[in-house]
Structure 1
Amino acid sequence: MSDFLPYAYFQGQFVPFSEAKLSVATHALHYGTAALGGLRGLPNPKNTNEILLFRLEDHCRRLSRSAHYLGYDLPPTQIKSLMIDWVRQNAPQIPFYIRPLVYTSGLGIAPRLHNVDKDFLIYGLPLGDYLSPQGVSCRISSWQRQSDRSFPLRGKFTASYLVSALAKTEAVASGFDEAILLNDQGKISEATGMNIFLVRNQQLITPSVDQDILEGITRNSVLQLAQVEGFQVIERPVDHTELLIADEVFLTGTAARIVPVARLEQYALPAPGKMTQYLQQQLQAITEDRHPDYHHWIDKIPLTKS
């Protein structure tokens, strides 16, 4: 159990991670009726007795909205309070990742959201680089991203990651690091757990929200950073072939942060350009609370009372 932080929030209390166990009959395990979150934290480089959390309130709001789809009223303020308590219980001394989960906790065999108990848990683990910051190789997946007509893509649900898992394993088995999913219109949607951006003619382009993407918080951060810097930002449908002739391509996500795409199938892509490098540097500075214009994106959690 050493790969996980020592305490979990489980069934309304903080317990050792090893004691946070679910029944084999748990409803969410059988039907994918759970919503997940994920955010990074790290000790403040200027004060190791303080933890920095990036865009905590935005993550809490998104998880609360996802819980709403499951018929569970879980206010963002409650999620935030418990996340802060969890951080204080664990007092991590290295960069880490928090995984909150809303799930149908009842025991039963009927696929439904009514008349079934729901609950909320939190655990975490140390996390460095999820993917190589120097660049990754990608393939276009044979699996298709779900459509909003058949799946609530504005939420972040465990069930949606089956397609991501299939696509990721297919990519790795065929010699690539990551997969890019197309939507049912044949347009670029996203990677297996990340949004995608490209740069062409000094324009920053990303699939728009009507392309069956998850509305990523890191994606939103990149869009805001680019607009403030004066980059021309365009959200629209993107063709597969556009990636092959792009000046820069990169992926964004909470775990991945900003990762350049170095190769797409048999095509080598340009080395990370000025826009990718600039955004990487800015995001790093913000998460370490070194950017004076973005202190509002950082929650500072003291580990001891003053």
Structure 2
Amino acid sequence: MSDFLPYAYLNGQFVPFEEAKISVATHALHYGTAALGGLRGLPNPANPKEILLFRLEDHCRRLSRSAYYLGYELPTSEIKARIIEWVQKNQPRVPFYIRPLVYTSGLGIAPRLHDIEKDFLIYGLPLGDYLAATGVTCRISSWQRQCDRSFPLRGKLTTSYIVSALAKTEAVSSGFDEAILLNEQGKVCEATGMNLFLVREGQLITPSVDQDILEGITRRSVIELAQAAGVKVMERPVDRTELLIADEVFLTGTAARIVPVSRIETYTLPSDRPLTLQLQKQLQAIVEGREPQYRHWVDVIPL
């Protein structure tokens, strides 16, 4: 239990993490009727009595919209207020990760979203690098990303992560760090919990939102940063063969931040990654509150 921050938010109150328990009959546990969020925080390097949260409003808005698929009206403002209270309650002293979860909390055995109670919880844990910052190896997964006509991919719903889990284990079991999923058209979609970018001839390319991707917040941030630096950004379908001849490939996500890809299948990618490195350094500076131009992306929480 020591790996988690000391307090959780459950059933409308803050409780010690060890006491934050739900029933074995909880509806969401059986049917995947839940939506999750995830955001990073860290003590302000310039003031240890402050916590910096990256793009808090955006994360809360996405979770609120995801909750809507579950028939749960949970305002962005309420999620944000509870997360701020949770941070102040826990007083974290190291970089950490926050996991808010919206779920069907009622007890029952019928898969449905009507006539079932919903609730909202928060917990968190210290978190350093999610993947190796120096580069990861990837395989093309045999598992296919769900398509939007059969699954609400605009929401960050827990059910979708079964494919991610299958693909991740397949990749690790076959000697790779991470998996790249294709969509039903055979186009590049994303990794198991991260969006994907590639660089070709100075252009930054990423699968567009009509390619069954999750609309990532770090993804959107990277696009904005690249465009502000004068880099041409293309959001379009991506063929798997493009990855193998790319000048740079990297993954983005809240937990992963920006992680370069060093090898895909048997193809080794160039070790010189100027744009990846530039974006990594700039994003880290923003997260640490050192980029005045992007202070609006960082919430400062007093302790």
Residues 7-156 of structure 1 aligned to structure 2 (within 5 Å): 7-156=7-156
Question: Partners of 1:30 and 1:272 in 2: how far apart?
Answer: 46
The 8 Å contact of residues 140 and 265 in structure 1, kept in 2 or not, is answered as: yes
Output the amino acid matched with 2:265: E
Q: Deviations over 1:201-247 (max 9, x none)?
A: 10000000000000000000000000000100000000000000000
Find the counterpart in structure 2 of residue 178 from structure 1.
Answer: 178
Output the amino acid matched with 1:129: D
- Count of residue correspondences: 303
Output the amino acid matched with 2:61: R
Are positions 1:295 and 2:295 aligned together?
A: yes
Question: Partners of 1:266 and 1:298 in 2: how far apart?
Answer: 40
Q: Deviations over 1:98-131 (max 9, x none)?
A: 0000000000000000000000000000000000
Q: Deviations over 1:145-176 (max 9, x none)?
A: 00001000000011000000000000000000
Q: CA deviation at 1:292?
A: 1.1
Q: CA deviation at 1:300?
A: 0.3
Find the counterpart in structure 2 of residue 192 from structure 1.
Answer: 192
Output the amino acid matched with 1:227: Q
Question: Partners of 2:4 and 2:273 in 1: how far apart?
Answer: 36
Give the alignment's TM-score, normalised by structure 1: 0.99
Output the amino acid matched with 2:214: L
Are positions 1:249 and 2:256 aligned together?
A: no
Question: Partners of 1:22 and 1:209 in 2: how far apart?
Answer: 35
The 8 Å contact of residues 96 and 124 in structure 1, kept in 2 or not, is answered as: yes
Q: Deviations over 1:168-200 (max 9, x none)?
A: 000000000000000000000000000000000
Find the counterpart in structure 2 of residue 165 from structure 1.
Answer: 165
Are positions 1:224 and 2:192 aligned together?
A: no
Determine helix, strand or coil for the equivalent of 1:293.
helix
Are positions 1:6 and 2:6 aligned together?
A: yes
Change (3 A) 1:272 1:190: farther
Question: Partners of 2:163 and 2:234 in 1: how far apart?
Answer: 27
Unaligned runs of 5+ in 2: none
Find the counterpart in structure 1 of residue 214 from structure 2.
Answer: 214
Are positions 1:265 and 2:260 aligned together?
A: no
Determine helix, strand or coil for the equivalent of 1:190.
strand
Unaligned runs of 5+ in 1: none
Question: Partners of 1:264 and 1:44 in 2: how far apart?
Answer: 36
Question: Partners of 1:212 and 1:65 in 2: how far apart?
Answer: 17
Question: Partners of 2:160 and 2:11 in 1: how far apart?
Answer: 25
Q: Deviations over 1:11-65 (max 9, x none)?
A: 0000000000010000000000000000000000000010000000000000000
The 8 Å contact of residues 260 and 272 in structure 1, kept in 2 or not, is answered as: no
Determine helix, strand or coil for the equivalent of 2:172.
helix
Q: CA deviation at 1:273?
A: 1.3
Give the alignment's TM-score, normalised by structure 2: 1.00
Q: CA deviation at 1:271?
A: 1.3
Output the amino acid matched with 2:140: I
Question: Partners of 1:271 and 1:96 in 2: how far apart?
Answer: 30
